[in-house]
Amino acid sequence: MDADSALDDSYFDHCPWDFGSRASPAQRDAQTAHQKRLTDDGASIGPRCFVSPAAGVFADTLRLGENSYIAGHAYVTGEITTGSDCTVNPYATVRGRIVLGDGVRIGAHSSLLGFNHGFGPDLPVHRQPLTSKGITVGDDVWIGSNVVVLDGVTIGDHCVVGAGAVVTKDLPPWSVAAGNPARRLRDRRDTGPARRGPAESGDGLGEQIARFADRARAQAADLLARAWDADAGRYRDRPGAPLTVRAHCDAVEIADLLLGSPPPQLSAAGHAERLRALQDPAEGMVPELAADGGPGVLPARAADGWIDDGAAEYHVLSVGYALELLGSRFAHPVRPVERTTAGGLVARLESLPWRTRAWTAGAWVDCWATGAHHNLGLGAAAGEPGALEALFGWLSTRVDPWTGMWGAASSPAEGRLQLVNGHYRLTRGSFAQFGIQLPYPERVVDTVLDHGADPRWFAAGRQNACNVLDVAHPLWLVGRRSDHRAAEVRAWAGQQLTHALGQWRDGTGFGFGPPGEGGSGPGREPGLQGTEMWLAIVWLLADLVGVADRLGYRPRGVHRPEAARSPAPGPPGQPVLVDKTL
């Protein structure tokens, strides 16, 4: 199309950068008249600007620098000031108090929201007051498509914000940021080969994990078939191991990660039917299988009504999430959770062995809170009124502000092993699962990194899946809020990721690793449990170093990064804090 060809007005609504060179005299006159209407209402518009008549521009203050444009279907309100050469592309939203420097590009469908809305409990939401801290964007900034920038944020000069990011905190100059919430991935000036990180290195971790993922996917079906016992119609962790409930759940998770489908031995409905049939209808918990592979039997209730059985407690997680991956749910509510009172919950929490076995205490919280999640999904009760609130209230008032943990600080025999591993189990089921921000995130990083340097658990050849997961998850979780010691976090994750990738065994998958405390865990032999756990760990580690996109999968079950339930109750007197990306 030549420069003299007639272009429909809608073309410039969507391609306003061509207006200066390709608009007809009549279109220029119409644009001049449109800008005059805006300036008559108080706007200030520099030379060589374009404001689409199809944009909703209802600003209290509009100062548009020269060579800038607002494209069609953009929505602009509030107090807007831009420098020169700024662009607001189609369907973007710019509202509140917004100040843009020179050369700012705002991608299509992005939103800069320079205001906020109250949500206190004293008034209905529609009567809550508005507040506005404003958004400031420096010079030479590219904000990609579908980005959201929240009130109070400053984006420094020369930043690039990747498509789909949610920017919740300030970005320093020269940042390249992405993610939800957005985090700084690198310095924009770091382009030379000597300064590349693992994500950019041609033969670095990004390439390694892409090759690993292709290899794992190609072997996934055979790996699952190896563990299937056709006579019993159930799975073993590996040939020769007992038939277990967890093995079936691990198979469902592995197939979801690597194949994007149920394990090929049964249909989704067939897998779900077998798992649902294992739930005890009276108690709503799933006992371990009997020796012949048939349904097991739960022990009697404890005095407070709880079922104290480690396997059944973990099955609340593994079976419940496997059913969700299969498009199903438990057949019955988890009854011990359903009948919990607030007082009974607090009494149980107080009785847990926080100072001697923090992992055991955290695992109980994980089970109870996950049972609450599944019950809510069934429309059943998450305890009697006030129980769920009591859980978060108790946890929020018992956390140690010096460590960000619950339980004893350390012991000579184990160091911080119980403390950190208990923290993972506790927060997985409560804060992470319900999308509530963790308290004292910087102290969590300090404690977890200190533990991650302990050679008893993390020297080469001594890692097991539990110990690495229990460090990687909290680092990932609090890393969504804080850049505290970010370089050390990436270095630790990169080191562990390199080790993990080398542990895959063709045709059999991952082994859990050396036995953990007390000889727990299935050991070094590759099987379903080790494979399921390490696949999730690899994703967490890869995301910490910025290369998870090369894997082509994202955990959706027990080890999912996103919150499973929203909204969640906050601690007493505190607002609800929900982050669906945890």
φ and ψ at residue 29, rounded to 5 degrees: -65, -40
CA atoms of 234 and 246, how far apart (whole Å):
10
User: What's the rounded Cα separation, in Å, for the pair 221 and 376?
Assistant: 34
Per DSSP, helices labelled H in 379-511 are: 387-398, 417-427, 441-452, 455-458, 465-479, 486-501
Active site residue 117: yes
Q: Which among 117, 423, 451, 473 is annotated as catalytic?
A: 117
Q: How many whole angstroms separate alpha carbon 571 and alpha carbon 550?
A: 38
Cβ(482)–Cβ(442) under 8 Å? yes
Sign of the CA dihedral running 530, 536, 541, 546: positive
Task: List, in sequence order, every residue forming a beta bridge with 155; answer none if it has no partner.
Answer: 137, 171
Can you list the pairs that 53-58 forms with residues at least 24 positions away whose Cβ atoms lie under 8 Å?
53/9, 53/13, 54/10, 54/13, 55/13, 55/88
| DSSP run (H or E) holding 275 | helix 268-276
CB 181 within 8 A of CB 167: yes
Let me know: does 420 contact 455? Beta carbons within 8 Å: no
Which residue in this structure is represented by tokens 């593994």?
318
Active site residues: 117
